[in-house]
Amino acid sequence: MLSYIDGNIVDEAHATVSIRSRALNYGLGCFGGIRAYASDDGKQLFVFRLADHVRRLADSAKILFLPLPISTSELSSAVLDLLRRNDLHEDAYVRPMVISKTAKLAPLLREEDASLVIWCMPLQRYIDKDSIDVCISSWRRTPDNSIPARTKPTGGYLNSALARREAYDNGFDEAIFLTGQGMVSEGSAEHVFIVRNGVLISPPSTEDNLDGITRRTLITLATEDLGLSFVERPIGRTELYVADEMFLCGTGAQVTPVRSVDRRVLGDGGIGPITKQMGDHFQAVVHGRVDDRREWLSPVWV
């Protein structure tokens, strides 16, 4: 695979940073996760909500004093160009990252150290199960006033890795974080939705979680396309146990149904009707089957 590093397209094996870089030693950086989806006839590849992902990365970089070294329009073009150069015609994942490339000692964020790298890979399913079993993690989500989740910080994912390892060790597929105040935040890398009495519910992005693009997409699709009732509000731990349905969502996870929480089976244990409706419609949108949502898709092959 070919990758992008500071304006150059190089073989992935040569897209390297120093072992002394602050990005490696201190986790100084942020990233975006972007999906591209093949059309049903295989002739086109659509990048989903590219402008929104690039804008969020620019905002993240600004917060961390690691500004994008190129404009957002140039970054969008670089993402599309990289997919073309890799001759990708199947579902794919793209990760642009802004990192601190300096090899100086001490964890210090400086504008002049910003380096932009982009890599991509074919990707079908991030979670290879039709539905998953989750647990409430004993680890708490890092507060936004400590490490801001809004920035998708590279170093902050140690928090996610610890929670996911704990979940795996105890026989679960994924972990759900609570905030320091004990309210539901998100999964290790996904947002949370539940269904109760026909109403779709999700905690706000102020619960120490990312301002998720997939989450916002699903809210729009639910309320505008599918006519579903949606409420954004805090969710307590035990409310997950009595939800009629639950699913996780994200760029990687897409719409992933949850079968149980802390070994409490939800509903009848199957994929609930609203979860299925949401998942099916999301897939139709990202693969270019819904004309009214084509503005979210950036074609690679033109």
- Reported as a single tens digit per residue, the pLDDT across 135-150 is 999 999 999 999 999 8
* Bridge partners (DSSP) listed for residue 46: 37, 299
Whether residue 268 is found in the same domain as residue 175:
yes
pLDDT band, residue 75 (cuts 50/70/90): very high
CB of 32 within 8 A of CB of 57?
A: yes
Token pair for residue 268? 């009848």
pLDDT, tens only, 176-197: 999 999 999 999 999 999 999 9
Angle (nearest 5°) at CA 269 between 263 and 273: 135
pTM check: above 0.85: yes
Number of domains in the chain: 2
Whether residue 176 is found in the same domain as residue 63:
no
Whether 298 is in a domain gets the answer: no
Domain termination residue (choose one: 100, 122, 144): 122
List active site positions.
152
- How many angstroms from the chain centroid is the CA of residue 286? 15
Average pLDDT over every residue of 271-287: 98
Whether 301 is in a domain gets the answer: no
Whether 188 is in a domain gets the answer: yes
Residue written as tokens 């109403």? 199
Tell me: pLDDT of 48 over 90.
yes
CA distance 88 to 239: 43
Token pair for residue 118? 């982009």
Token pair for residue 265? 């089976």
Average pLDDT over every residue of 23-38: 97
Token pair for residue 105? 């000692």
Whether residue 56 is found in the same domain as residue 149:
no
Whether residue 90 is found in the same domain as residue 180:
no
What's 20's domain CATH number? 3.30.470.10
Domain termination residue (choose one: 103, 122, 141): 122
Q: What is the pLDDT of residue 127?
A: 81
**CB within 8 Å of 139: residues ≥ 6 apart:** 159, 162, 163, 166, 175, 177
Whether 299 is in a domain gets the answer: no
Whether residue 86 is found in the same domain as residue 180:
no
Whether residue 257 is found in the same domain as residue 186:
yes
Q: Which domain holds residue 244?
A: 132-287
Whether residue 185 is found in the same domain as residue 103:
no
